[in-house]
Amino acid sequence: MPEVSKMKKPDVKVVLLGDMNVGKTSLLHRYTERKFKDTISTVGGAFFLKQWGPYNISIWDTAGREQFHGLGSMYCRGAAAVILTYDVTNWQSLAELEERFLSLTDTANHDCIYAVVGNKADLTDPKAHLSQDLDGVSQDQTECEEDRTEPQVLSACPTPPASPASLSGMILHKQVTHEDALALYGRILRYKGLEEKSSLPAEKMCFETSAKTGYNVDTLFETLFDLVLPSILRKRNENQESPTVDLEECRVASGKRTKSTCC
């Protein structure tokens, strides 16, 4: 049998972790497709390649269901960034991050960075109805109409509601505060045996997002991508020794999996 040629390895790996239904798939979909649409519960894990400038960033969207628990550490192996996602309206989803998902990151890179992301902020926070990420209206042309509507019109939103709360458009009780997330971030650093001082600050690494409105979504991904750049460069340098790399990189560069956004 002929030697199987090595898969063009992406430069870096980012993993979305968190309980099912917190909105991981929706976040990724919002970021790559600029849309919010109905999702189907993820099976296993889904791999995406995102072109970020000259780099290829692989993103693993995981199911978060207990059924696939055993695969978590495999998806996390060698990860440069892990996005720990919870639902701001669901305290348990934050608790699960610590109980169930944090240990999966043991296989991640030693210098892996962690983001704690509270999604569905649109349900609790009027300001999350307006996306800060619009650096131009043109970018958002393809979106569903409802995404751009004003908060007070949300109640008339015709799309299937994600939860009973969005049906009425009322503001839900925010079960997880920003402070809770900051505290979790601190505990993550401790779990990893990292010094708070020499690590990225909690304020920078805790996000509140809305996949539904797009609030903070681009900021989240782009902050992370910028932060993993050093990791990419180091990896590329390490690979310089290998003669096959040039070839691989050529193929990577001509990869056709460019997403709708460019950078």
Partner 1 sequence: MERDNHQEGEAQGVKICDPPSESNPPETLATSLSLLGNHMFPEPVVRKDSTTVVKEEPVDLHLSAVPAQEQNLDAEPISTQIKMLETDTAENQEQECPNNESTDTVDRGTEDAAGDNDQSDSGEFVVTMLAKAKLEEQGIGVKGRSSPLLEAGTQESPAFVSHRDEDVTAESWRQHRKHVFVLSEAGKPIYSRYGSEEALSSTMGVMMALVSFVQSSDNIIRSVYSEEHTVVFLQKGPLVLVCVSSSQQSEQQLRGELLYVYYQIISMLTQASISRIFEHKKNYDLRRLLAGSEKILDGLLNLVDSDPSFLLVAIHCLPLASSLRDSLSQILQKAITPNLVFSILIAKNQLLTIVQEKTVIEDTRLEPADVHLLLNLIGASSAFQAGEIWTPICLPLFNPDCYFYAYISYLDPPECTVCLLLLSTDKEAFYAVAECKRKIEEAMVAQNSLSLIAKAQSYSVSQVGVSDLRHFMYKPFDVPDNYRQLSQFTSPEMEAPYSSEEEKMRLLDLYRYMHSRIHSTSRPLKLIYHVAERETLLAWVTSKFELYTCFSPLVTKACAITAITKLLRWIKKEEDRLFIRYPPKYSTTPNPSKSSRGGKSDQPDSTDNGFLSLL
Ligand X SMILES: Nc1nc2c(ncn2[C@@H]2O[C@H](COP(=O)(O)OP(=O)(O)O)[C@@H](O)[C@H]2O)c(=O)[nH]1
| DSSP secondary structure of 140-172 | GTTS-HHHHS-GGGGGG--SPPSSHHHHHTPPP
72 Cα distance to chain centroid: 15
42 binds Mg ion (CB under 5 A): yes
163-182 positions binding ligand X, by CB under 6 A: 166
Q: For residues 57 and 80, what is the distance between their CA atoms, to the nearest angstrom?
A: 10
Tokens of 224: 């992370």
Binding of Mg ion by 26 (CB under 5 A): no
Residue 9 interacting with partner 1 (CB under 8 A) = yes
42 CB contacts (<8 Å, ≥6 apart)? 20, 24, 25, 61, 62, 63, 64, 65
| Spatial distance between the Cα atoms of 101 and 67, rounded to a whole number of angstroms | 13
With beta carbons less than 8 A apart as the criterion, state whether 47 and 60 touch. Answer: yes
Residue 123 interacts, among Mg ion, partner 1, ligand X, none and using kind-specific CB cut-offs from 5 to 8 Å, with ligand X
Q: Is 262 in the site for partner 1 (CB under 8 A)?
A: no
φ/ψ of 241, rounded to 5, equals -65, -30
Residue 131 interacts with ligand X (CB under 6 A)? no
Q: Which does 93 bind (CB under 5 to 8 A by kind): Mg ion, partner 1, ligand X, none?
A: none
Q: Is residue 129 classed exposed, middle or buried when 0-12, 13-18 and 19+ CB atoms within 10 A define those classes?
A: buried
Among 53, 54, 66, 111, which residue interacts with partner 1 (rule: CB under 8 A)? 66
Q: Residue 124 has which token pair?
A: 């609790």
Query: Is residue 211 a contact residue for ligand X (CB under 6 A)?
Result: yes
51 binds Mg ion (CB under 5 A): no
Single out the segment in contact with ligand X by CB under 6 A; choices: 3-11, 96-104, 120-128, 187-195: 120-128
Closest CB 5 distance from Mg ion, rounded Å: 31
Separation of alpha carbons 129 and 176, rounded Å: 18
- 113, interface contact from ligand X, Mg ion, partner 1, none, CB < 5-8 Å by kind: none
Quick one: 23 or 129, whose CB is closer to Mg ion? 23
95 is a site residue for partner 1 (CB under 8 A):
no
Residue 162 touches which of Mg ion, partner 1, ligand X, none (Cβ within 5-8 Å per kind):
ligand X
| Token output for 127 | 């300001």
Check binding of 23 to partner 1 (CB under 8 A).
no
When CB distances are held under 5 to 8 angstroms depending on the partner's kind, the choice from ligand X, partner 1, Mg ion, none that residue 72 binds is partner 1
| Partner residues linked to 119 by β-bridges | 87
Q: What type of residue is 211?
A: A
Comparing C-alpha atoms, which of 204, 219, 205 is closest to residue 131?
Answer: 219
Write out the residues near ligand X by the rule CB under 6 A.
Answer: 18, 20-26, 39, 41-42, 64, 119-120, 122-123, 162, 166, 210-212
Write out the residues near Mg ion by the rule CB under 5 A.
Answer: 24-25, 42
